[in-house]
Structure 1
């Protein structure tokens, strides 16, 4: 399958482009970005074509991989889906409900396959843990969970201090999807959302799940670097279960996502469990939380 990459920033260079170059049975055709100089530099580094326009990239691709801000992704991915191109997306899939709805509608109308790269969900150690948690739930349903993810992008600054993370609540929109991707794969779908943000920029969510379970999410991109931390756990009749360490490199996880998109794009293949439908469920929680935070 021929893949084109949209995006030329740090994450495109250290994760997306290397994963495309390393994945078997994939042809990395080239890259397009809004900055021609950065497009040329990234294309030269990986020995692929630097496209002069998005339409030129679409003409050469069967699938498009995105590494751009969520609102930009939603616009261009909607156009790609309308053109019949399969989609490998970053999380969150959009920055508002309208953008997410337009994207999911376009993909459904065209029948294209999609995968959203929730990093943890493509690491084998996390997949094994989630599978065992779901198996345990058949005998002892999980009654609650918590996820905490703390980063320092908005305080310390660095390669991930990009405008959309600084202008938006980076804790909720950048880190929130990581936490939600775990809880939504163990507990039942979210029915209610309550949100609070403290003066230091930490966001707290209380989620009510179908069936009566509840969970909490705590996220921030404004803590000191020494306070950075990420963990998740669920509890119920089987006791407590803590998310394990995740040694699988990001590029390997992303290569898995690329390979699984190619499989999902085959005629008659089922939709990927972490495609746009799952991405839309995560976006719905983020939007409802943002509405409360104002």
Structure 2
């Protein structure tokens, strides 16, 4: 049995995503413990904290005092300035994508992480599933001429995910980071991104990779489907390589994410899916936005 103490993580946010994933994942341990919750709505913070036997902090400063790492489950415009403050307070960061509401805000987070040297990790959910890692390992040895991909769902049609920033910015800022990250990792570094369509309805991305390959991504949060559809197809002279999220159990993602974040905090070294990666992906999003 490990004698390493669990990482004390404070949670910023008490909305649907904080309830569905962050609080439950961090409280489950054993690598982490939920040390406190803070939200702009004190009642929501108190209810979430009580559900997991922890405390609701009266301020962000109190949250920082109670933890060694901070997880964020808030809109990007809220995350960026608070993440900068947390980094300057010496706290490790578990960050959502996108890092900020715009590129300047995202850069402020990455710069604060670089300046302070704190550990950072990005919640690009599907990257933590074993099947995704197996797919990327196979892609590393393949000759790829082109790729097709999609991330489609109907969450923006209504419900808890149909929040202000998602409806205003659309699929590019919300779903785009996932596919751009996967295409960049699977096919190779992306040199240019062009977009057509309306991010609030349906948007198509065309990526030209540095090695000459071309990939495309279809994004929409306003299509009625039985369940979300995320798929990447890699094509070349050999047999195609396909990754599909249809059979992914996200609970397996959370287990890996939690363990790797705790290991990074204890070692003092961030993994590859960090704030710098988040900034790089957001630079691609900004390029697509034109």
Same fold at TM > 0.5 = yes
- In the TM superposition, residue 11 of structure 1 has moved relative to its aligned partner by 0.9
Equivalent in the alignment of 2:222: 222
CA distance in 2 between counterparts of 1:30 and 1:199 reads 36
Q: What CA deviation, in whole Å up to 9, does each residue of 1:139-168 have, x standing for no partner?
A: xx222212111111232x012111111121
CA distance in 1 between counterparts of 2:273 and 2:82 reads 20
Equivalent in the alignment of 1:173: 173
CA distance in 2 between counterparts of 1:200 and 1:73 reads 22
CA distance in 1 between counterparts of 2:228 and 2:27 reads 31
Q: What CA deviation, in whole Å up to 9, does each residue of 1:157-211 have, x standing for no partner?
A: 0121111111212x11111122122111112211111111159821011111111
CA distance in 2 between counterparts of 1:130 and 1:287 reads 25
Q: 1:152 aligns with which of 151, 154, 157?
A: 154
Equivalent in the alignment of 2:144: 142
CA contact (8 A) 1:151 1:223 kept: yes
SS in 2 for 1:173: helix
Q: What CA deviation, in whole Å up to 9, does each residue of 1:240-293 have, x standing for no partner?
A: 111044545334412321221221223464x31111121112111111112x2x
Which runs of no fewer than 5 residues in structure 1 stay unpaired?
A: none
* C-alpha distance 194-111 of structure 1, shift in aligned 2 (>3 A): same
CA distance in 1 between counterparts of 2:241 and 2:181 reads 16
* C-alpha distance 199-118 of structure 1, shift in aligned 2 (>3 A): closer
* C-alpha distance 194-64 of structure 1, shift in aligned 2 (>3 A): same
SS in 2 for 1:131: helix
* C-alpha distance 101-2 of structure 1, shift in aligned 2 (>3 A): same
Equivalent in the alignment of 1:260: 260
Equivalent in the alignment of 1:279: 278
Residue 206 of structure 1 pairs with residue 210 of structure 2: no
SS in 2 for 1:160: coil
Residue 106 of structure 1 pairs with residue 108 of structure 2: no
Which runs of no fewer than 5 residues in structure 2 stay unpaired?
A: 1-6
Range with greater deviation from structure 2 (106-115 or 23-32): 23-32
* C-alpha distance 198-114 of structure 1, shift in aligned 2 (>3 A): closer
CA contact (8 A) 1:121 1:181 kept: no
CA distance in 2 between counterparts of 1:230 and 1:247 reads 11
SS in 2 for 1:239: coil
